Chain A
Amino acid sequence: MGVPLDQLLIQTINGIVTGMILALVSSGLTLIFGIMDVVNFAHGELLMLGAYVGVLTLAATGNFWLALLSAGLLIGLLGAAIYLVTLRPLIDRGPLTTILATFGISLVLQNVALWQFGPVSRKVAEPIGGHFTLFYLDYPWYRIVVALLSAAIIGGFWLFLKFGTWGIWIRATTQDRVMAQAMGIPVPWVLTGVFAIGSAMAAASGVLFGPLSGVDPTMGLGWILRAFIVVVVGGMGSLGGSIAAAILVSLLEAYASLWVSPSQAIIVSFVVLIVTLLFRPTGLFVAAPK
């Protein structure tokens, strides 16, 4: 069956928009994993809480930028606190222990949100209105803004990693934690900082995504699941791989939803994952091991 070109194009744009958000979510996850071997199961819940902070700030002030900023700051602080209280004592106990701890954290955060905000999904008006005509559709500008903002955050983060002193410290710590500390880098603070940055990135993606789908306490799970797929497909710990995989997976899902319902379209990501595991268990976008 033939698919009209216009639909294909619309789905391409849709795929890139969700792909950019997913890339933002996954970058935070992969950053935290790369530097401290922690798979943050609670990453999705930080996204969800970020979305709520965004909703509340938006309701109180009406300022989208303020919402983005406050969510990033607050959830960044929350991330730092979570790290200091629960993960720092586990630092030498291996990634399996930390995945258990962060799983516990995700349960607590999700239920706190349920308790505080109720189970009903909150609709959020698109903070940047206006549409443009895409074939027969009124395509919201906001979606384009979301993609651009996500790209901007990722790009800004990349510049920070590449050129800033802290960026060099973070990369040095990722490559050799012990040696980094022996060179005078305050590694305990770098780790806390990275956890805060990763959390803030999750929060930012929550704020950006909120208006597209509504905000509810369980929205984190869907994201963490897709982010997990992305980091396995992209190669755990590889920032570039995560971004590429995020866009690939989202595009494929968008195309698939031309034929099946969105809840079934996620099966496409599963297929990508299975194929990756079959042929390149270390990830599609990292160099194959020797």
Chain B
Amino acid sequence: MRRGHGTVFWTGFAVIVALLIAAPLVLTEFWRRFVTEILIWGLLAMSSDILIGYTGMVSFGHSAFFGLGMYGAAAALLTIDPPNLWLALFYGLVAAAAVAACVAYFSTRLRDIYFAITTLIFSQIFYVIIFTWTAVTGGENGLAFERPPLAIPGLFDFVLTPTRLHWFVLAVVAGSYLILRRITQSPFGMVLQSIRENEARTRAIGYAVERYKIVAVMLSGLFAGLAGVLYALQNQFAAPDFVFFLVSGETVIYNVIGGIGTLVGPIVGAAFFLLLREGLSRFLTQYYLIPLGAVFIAIVILMPQGLLGFMRRWLNE
């Protein structure tokens, strides 16, 4: 039974990855880019699912981790010559981890809504810093840079074309998914879920709950930062808009629409949201958030399991 479940999982995973590998070869440039972005936003959403879905902490501050990942990558690409992809990754992750450590230290002192509010405020702190520290961050205009080559000295050296970037993003996102999935099934992941269900009880059986929460926030921030680095590579700029809280809000929306506590759900949610936005914005230009917000509210009220949970129930019937 369990083995059968595993086979189904890996078959499904392989099929989807294969489809995504083939995607840039058949899609137009516009849709190729669209799919790459869904993967990146999906990774961001997945990273926050570790907190929202598995630990029961709603973060309204993931834009800070995402944005700092972008700015970290930008710093590496602008200051180091020749630009190096791996250093960009490294800088981005370090920046995101530093921010995550700071946010984790303060916000995990509070629970539930207080946590949500505090993460929101912290992301705004970083937004204000980046927005006003023009000399370093370029302020409102942000920073623009060139895409580095995908190279390992002595082994290979590729120019990062859009298609190759898509594959690179796909590899990172798929790998991150597998790692995150394993983390949620690990003993550590079980502790997180136990905190979500009953924090006092988890403490009573001997767990130092605060420490687990801090590590959870840091892990989540690290993967959000990774998404930020990928986004920087894709768009070749870093801008304060991405540190702004609206990005955090959309991350939460992806999770809720897709279904929290599933890892895949948030990616589905991101795809659904972005497709709907694409469709709606043709008629409604910039006001697409009116119907999307309404859909989101309806899902919160009527479909708390999200699309994935809803589909699962529907398939079972």
Interface set of A (CB-CB < 8 Å, partner B): 39, 86, 89-90, 93-97, 99-101, 103-105, 107-108, 110-112, 114-115, 221, 225, 228-229, 231-232, 236, 261, 263-264, 266-267, 270, 273-274, 277-278, 281
**In the complex, which residues 126-160 of chain B have their Cβ closer than 8 Å to any Cβ of chain A?**
128-129, 131-132
Do the beta carbons of B290 and A108 come within 8 Å of each other? yes
Q: Does B114 contact A (CB under 8 A)?
A: yes
For the complex, what is the distance from the CA of A156 to the CA of B286, rounded to whole Å? 41
Q: Which residues of B contact A221 (CB under 8 A)?
A: 245
Q: Which of B162-170, B262-270, B297-305 contacts A (4 or more CB under 8 A)?
A: B297-305
Q: Does B20 contact A (CB under 8 A)?
A: no
For the complex, what is the distance from the CA of A224 to the CA of B68, rounded to whole Å? 24
Do the beta carbons of B300 and A100 come within 8 Å of each other? yes
4 more A-B contacts (CB under 8 A) besides A97-B304, A104-B293?
A100-B252, A225-B121, A228-B121, A270-B124
| Given A225-B124, A263-B131, A86-B289 contact (CB < 8 Å) | no
Q: Which residues of A contact B106 (CB under 8 A)?
A: 274, 277-278
A112 and chain B: residue at smallest CB distance = B290
Q: Which residues of B contact A231 (CB under 8 A)?
A: 117
Do the beta carbons of B112 and A95 come within 8 Å of each other? yes
Q: Which residues of B contact A232 (CB under 8 A)?
A: 110, 114, 117-118, 121
Q: Which residues of B contact A110 (CB under 8 A)?
A: 289
Q: Is the interface of B mostly helix, strand, loop or mixed?
A: helix
A103 and chain B: residue at smallest CB distance = B249
| Given A104-B297, A225-B120, A277-B132 contact (CB < 8 Å) | no
**In the complex, which residues 234-292 of chain B have their Cβ closer than 8 Å to any Cβ of chain A?**
245, 249, 252-253, 256, 286-287, 289-290, 292
For the complex, what is the distance from the CA of A190 to the CA of B284, rounded to whole Å? 38
Do the beta carbons of A97 and B121 come within 8 Å of each other? no
Do the beta carbons of B109 and A100 come within 8 Å of each other? no
Q: Which residues of B contact A99 (CB under 8 A)?
A: 58, 113, 116
Q: Tell me the smallest distance from the CB of B253 to a CB of chain A, in Å.
A: 8
Do the beta carbons of A111 and B118 come within 8 Å of each other? no
Q: Tell me the smallest distance from the CB of B76 to a CB of chain A, in Å.
A: 27
Q: Tell me the smallest distance from the CB of A22 to a CB of chain B, in Å.
A: 15
Contact of A266 among B109, B128, B289 (CB under 8 A): B128
Do the beta carbons of A96 and B301 come within 8 Å of each other? no
Do the beta carbons of A263 and B128 come within 8 Å of each other? yes
- Contact string against A for B residues 41-57, beta-carbon threshold 8 Å, 1 for contact and 0 otherwise: 00000000000000010
Q: Which residues of A contact B252 (CB under 8 A)?
A: 100, 103
Do the beta carbons of A101 and B297 come within 8 Å of each other? yes
A-B contact count (CB 8 A): 103
Do the beta carbons of B300 and A111 come within 8 Å of each other? no
Do the beta carbons of A277 and B113 come within 8 Å of each other? no
For the complex, what is the distance from the CA of A228 to the CA of B58, rounded to whole Å? 16
Do the beta carbons of A97 and B300 come within 8 Å of each other? yes
3 smallest CB-CB distances across A and B, nearest first, come from: A108-B293, A107-B293, A104-B297
For the complex, what is the distance from the CA of A89 to the CA of B299, rounded to whole Å? 12
For the complex, what is the distance from the CA of A114 to the CA of B292, rounded to whole Å? 15
Do the beta carbons of A111 and B287 come within 8 Å of each other? yes
A224 and chain B: residue at smallest CB distance = B120
For the complex, what is the distance from the CA of A171 to the CA of B60, rounded to whole Å? 31
Q: Which residues of B contact A100 (CB under 8 A)?
A: 58, 252, 256, 296, 300
Q: Which residues of B contact A263 (CB under 8 A)?
A: 128, 131-132
For the complex, what is the distance from the CA of A107 to the CA of B110, rounded to whole Å? 26
Do the beta carbons of B113 and A95 come within 8 Å of each other? yes
| Given A86-B301, A111-B287, A228-B117, A96-B58 contact (CB < 8 Å) | yes
B58 and chain A: residue at smallest CB distance = A96
25 contacts between A and B (CB under 8 A): A86-B301, A89-B301, A94-B112, A95-B112, A96-B58, A97-B304, A100-B58, A100-B252, A100-B256, A100-B296, A100-B300, A104-B293, A104-B300, A107-B293, A108-B290, A111-B287, A114-B286, A115-B287, A115-B290, A225-B120, A229-B121, A232-B117, A264-B128, A267-B129, A274-B106
Do the beta carbons of B293 and A105 come within 8 Å of each other? yes
Do the beta carbons of A108 and B249 come within 8 Å of each other? no
For the complex, what is the distance from the CA of A94 to the CA of B112, rounded to whole Å? 9
**In the complex, which residues 85-132 of chain B have their Cβ closer than 8 Å to any Cβ of chain A?**
106, 109-110, 112-114, 116-118, 120-121, 124-125, 128-129, 131-132
Do the beta carbons of A39 and B131 come within 8 Å of each other? no
Q: Tell me the smallest distance from the CB of A20 to a CB of chain B, in Å.
A: 22
Q: Tell me the smallest distance from the CB of A115 to a CB of chain B, in Å.
A: 5
Q: Which residues of A contact B315 (CB under 8 A)?
A: none
For the complex, what is the distance from the CA of A263 to the CA of B106, rounded to whole Å? 23
Q: Which residues of B contact A112 (CB under 8 A)?
A: 287, 290
Among B110, B129, B289, B294, which residue has the most Cβ atoms of chain A within 10 A? B289
Q: Which residues of B contact A86 (CB under 8 A)?
A: 297, 301
Q: Which residues of A contact B128 (CB under 8 A)?
A: 263-264, 266-267, 270
